[in-house]
Structure 1
Amino acid sequence: MKTPASISALAAALLLALAPVTASAGPSLMRGPGSGPGPSVADSWSWPLNPRPAVVRGFDPPARPWLSGHRGVDLRAAYDAAPVTSPAAGTVSFVGVVVDRPVITVDHGNGLRSSFEAVRSVLGAGAAVEEGDVLGWILPGHCGPEPCIHWGVRRGEAYLNPMAFVTDLRPSILLPPKDPAPG
């Protein structure tokens, strides 16, 4: 029969054994792109609009792939027909209309692809782009009267939060105050 102390010790050992896996898998999936299994802040991308845009609608993925949700972010542009730039180097993999919106997709390698809608582009599939190169120009209508784009990022078939590639989304940690110096 196991005692409460032995059960607590077993639970503590299990938590310690799993801690490195949780720590390495969790935050790395919340940051920008990198070469390892998860993204890395050190390799972060640039914003696709200049100046830095406001987020009109945030990332709200569905609980299941077939459910409705918002699989990217909507970014407000400073003006109509603003240029949309590539957030990282890559190759244009798609330019066309999806449903009723013009879309451009850039393959950044390592399974990462970013897509932008509604964007008019003169580029074609196969075009190489560097970070900051103009992909196209915003078309009206995605956010009503406000000029904006929808930016989505995928790794394989999984949608990722695009904000994680341009900002550090790790939670803030409040540390206790330092003890005042003795008198």
Structure 2
Amino acid sequence: MNPERVRSLLGAVLAVVLVIGTPAVSFAVTEAAAASTAHDALEDRGWVWPVDGVQLLRPFAAPAHAYGPGHRGVDLAAGATLRSPADGLVAFAGQVAGRPVVTIDHGDGLVTTLEPATTELSVGDPVARGAVVARLADGGHEGPGTVHFGVRWNGEYINPLRLLGGVPRAVLKACC
């Protein structure tokens, strides 16, 4: 096999282990996902994580087509409170398919969703970047202590990590 083909195949399977929050927490991101240049217009907006002590439990997985299987957001370990990643207005607070959801419209076609989440806020209430906007509730698609954080840009789901500047500082760890 020629060296260029080997490099290409290795690049396709290469995973970088990133440590988020505490030294015991890690997850993998493929080189292709890390190298993505789509949606450059979304970078450097100063968004903040909606949880304290970030621990990514399940990454974004774009569907092959609009109705295909995928994971249209990220699942994060969460404490009791959830924060707004950016300034915006509460666009929805209620039940969707039996799950409590809070949606925030940030303008410029950007909308975030936190689920399961309950809030005392009402539709139209302004929220500030980093402000507590909801409490983690029961009933999500993952286990207790997990929040699903989704982002839509002009109606299409995108990887929330694009708006958060990727992931916090990466640390490579020995595999053996």
TM-score for both structures, normalised by structure 2: 0.70
Structure with more helix by fraction = 1
Instruction: Please tell me whether the aligned partners of residues 100 and 139 of structure 2 are also in contact (alpha carbons under 8 angstroms).
Output: no
Deviation at 1:140, TM superposition (A): 2.8
- Cα distance in 1 for partners of 2:166, 2:147 equals 21
Matched, 1:27 2:37: yes
Matched, 1:130 2:132: no
Matched, 1:88 2:89: no
Instruction: Please tell me whether the aligned partners of residues 43 and 165 of structure 2 are also in contact (alpha carbons under 8 angstroms).
Output: no
Post-superposition, which runs of at least 4 consecutive aligned residues in structure 1 deviate over 4 A? none
Structure with more strand by fraction = 2
Instruction: Please tell me whether the aligned partners of residues 73 and 159 of structure 2 are also in contact (alpha carbons under 8 angstroms).
Output: yes
- Cα distance in 2 for partners of 1:89, 1:75 equals 20
Aligned match of 1:40 in 39, 43, 67?
43
1:70-110 CA distances to partner (integer Å, 9 max, x unpaired)? 10000001x4xx11010000001111110011111110000
Count of residues in Structure 1 that have an aligned counterpart in Structure 2:
132
Q: Secondary structure at the match of 2:135?
A: strand
Instruction: Please tell me whether the aligned partners of residues 109 and 155 of structure 2 are also in contact (alpha carbons under 8 angstroms).
Output: no
Aligned match of 1:166 in 164, 167, 170?
164
- Cα distance in 1 for partners of 2:101, 2:138 equals 13
Residue type of the partner of 1:136?
A
Corresponding residue of 2:56: 55
Deviation at 1:50, TM superposition (A): 1.1
Gap runs ≥5 in structure 2: 1-35, 168-176
CA RMSD of aligned residues (A): 1.8
Superposed, which structure 2 residues align to 1:42-121 within 5 Å? Answer: 43-51=45-53, 53-77=54-78, 79=79, 82-121=80-119
State, as a whole percentage, how many aligned pairs show the same letter: 37
Deviation at 1:27, TM superposition (A): 2.0
- Cα distance in 2 for partners of 1:168, 1:122 equals 30
**Greater shift in the superposed pair: 108-117 or 60-69:** 60-69
TM-score for both structures, normalised by structure 1: 0.67
1:124-183 CA distances to partner (integer Å, 9 max, x unpaired)? 100000101111100134222x401000000112111011111337xxxxxxxxxxxxxx
Gap runs ≥5 in structure 1: 1-25, 32-37, 170-183
Instruction: Please tell me whether the aligned partners of residues 117 and 151 of structure 1 are also in contact (alpha carbons under 8 angstroms).
Output: yes
Q: Secondary structure at the match of 1:163?
A: helix
Deviation at 1:28, TM superposition (A): 5.3
